Structure 1
Amino acid sequence: MIYSTTDSIPGKEIEEIVGVVTGNVVQAKHVGRDLMAGLKSIVGGEIRGYTEMLTEARDTAVQRLVANAHAKGADAVVGIRFTTSSIMTGSSEIMVFGTAVKFKPTKDLQ
Structure 2
Amino acid sequence: MIIVTTEGVPGKKVVEFKGFVRGSMIQSKHIGKDVMAGLKNIVGGEIKDYTEMMDQARQKAIGRMVEHAEQSGANAIVACRMETSFVMGNASEIIAYGTAVRVE
TM-score of Structure 1 vs Structure 2, range by shorter chain: over 0.9
Give 1:99's aligned amino acid: T
Aligned to 1:30: 30
Please give the alpha-carbon distance, in whole angstroms, between the structure 1 residues aligned to 2:52 and 2:79.
25
Please give the alpha-carbon distance, in whole angstroms, between the structure 1 residues aligned to 2:7 and 2:60.
22
The Cα of 1:16 is off from its aligned counterpart by 1.1
Find out whether 1:80 has 2:80 as its counterpart: yes
Aligned to 1:68: 68
Q: How many residues align?
A: 104
Find out whether 1:53 has 2:53 as its counterpart: yes
SS in 1 for 2:12: coil
Q: Gaps spanning 5+ residues in structure 1: where?
A: 105-110
Please give the alpha-carbon distance, in whole angstroms, between the structure 2 residues aligned to 1:38 and 1:10.
45
Aligned to 2:39: 39
Give 1:88's aligned amino acid: M
Please give the alpha-carbon distance, in whole angstroms, between the structure 2 residues aligned to 1:17 and 1:69.
11
Give the TM-score normalised by the residue count of structure 2: 0.97
Q: Gaps spanning 5+ residues in structure 2: where?
A: none
Aligned to 1:13: 13
Please give the alpha-carbon distance, in whole angstroms, between the structure 2 residues aligned to 1:84 and 1:71.
24
SS in 2 for 1:55: helix
Please give the alpha-carbon distance, in whole angstroms, between the structure 1 residues aligned to 2:50 and 2:96.
19
Give 2:4's aligned amino acid: S
